[in-house]
Amino acid sequence: EAIINAADGIMVARGDLGVEMSPEEVPLLQKWIIEECNAAEKPVITATQMLESMIANPQPTRAEASDVANAILDGTDCVMLSGETAVGGYPVQAVEVMTRIAEHADGAISPRDSDNRIDNISESMAHAACRTAEEQQAKAIVTFTQSGSTALLVSKHRPSVPVYAATPFDIVARKISLYWGVVPIILRTKNTTDDMIAAVERAMLARKLVKAGDLIVITAGVPVGVPGSTNMIKAHRVGASKSLE
């Protein structure tokens, strides 16, 4: 617990854990670390020996596929390859296989909900955004974030749609790329919320992340540019002249 509290994020390096403890202990410890990181709202990476056989073979074993999928189902934010891409003979195939496994496992994850009272306004907005996106079958959730905290709050609810997090800072974009389901978008801060929405809409259309007519759910802070001030949620039709409150 002390390591998790002190760290910005945690890597579950199973190969190193296997040196320190017996093989039968590692799976349960992995699950426990992931659970504790989720509870502490810290990003967690599961790594080493994920698709080990793909160092020498173009296809993984079924056990390896199950290992990757179960790490995702347990709540890990990221899965990471090491030897498979560093020295392996099939680096591209390894990435493609892991991507397919991750996407398939993600589809089986149900959005997280809670009956507990939420006292923090930003967290209430994140929870409401996820519920709205689910109930209205939105195509995406968009957050405007200075520090990355709003993206994290949305991510922890495991929404069934992508989370696009717009931030003006490269360092924040790199950090939030580790969060489950979050895709960063570098976007300079605008003067008004309407300008921010218009700018992120253009950026998403240019990257073909959405198309005209799609419904997206937006969380932001008013006034614009104040960290930790998320206090607004809007349902917005891409290409519409104004948002739907």
How confident is residue 244, by pLDDT bands cut at 50, 70 and 90? very low
> Which tokens sit at 94?
């390894």
Q: Contacts from 29-35 at CB under 8 Å and sequence distance 24+?
A: 30/71, 30/74, 31/74, 33/4, 34/71, 34/74, 34/75, 34/76, 35/74, 35/75
- Helix orientation angle between 62-74 and 26-40, rounded to the nearest 10 degrees: 30
Distances (CA, A) of 229 to 143, 179, 187, 220: 12, 20, 18, 8
Fold agreement (2-106, 121-237): no
How far apart (Å, rounded) are the C-alpha atoms in residues 159 and 238?
20
pLDDT tens, 4-58?
999 999 999 998 888 889 999 999 999 999 999 999 989 999 999 999 999 999 9
DSSP 109: P
Going from N- to C-terminal start, the domains of the chain cover 2-106, 121-237
Q: Contacts from 202-207 at CB under 8 Å and sequence distance 24+?
A: 203/166, 204/140, 204/142, 204/164, 204/238, 205/238
Q: If you search the block for the tokens 């017996």, which residue do you land on?
A: 22
A 10 A CB-CB count for 165 gives 28
Contact of 144 with 178, CB cutoff 8 Å: no
| pLDDT of res. 176 | 94
**Domain at 2-106, CATH from 3.20.20.60, 3.40.50.970, 3.40.50.2300, 3.30.1540.10:** 3.20.20.60
pLDDT tens, 156-204?
999 999 999 999 999 999 999 999 999 999 998 888 888 999 999 999 9
A 10 A CB-CB count for 109 gives 15
DSSP 23: G
| pLDDT of res. 114 | 57
Contact of 133 with 180, CB cutoff 8 Å: no
Q: If you search the block for the tokens 């347990």, which residue do you land on?
A: 74
Q: Report which secondary-structure segment, H or E, holds 238.
A: none
Q: In the CATH hierarchy, which top-level class contains the domain 121-237?
A: alpha beta
pLDDT tens, 64-119?
999 999 999 999 999 999 999 999 999 999 999 999 999 999 988 877 765 556 77
How confident is residue 243, by pLDDT bands cut at 50, 70 and 90? very low
pLDDT tens, 197-235?
999 999 999 999 999 999 999 998 887 777 767 889 999
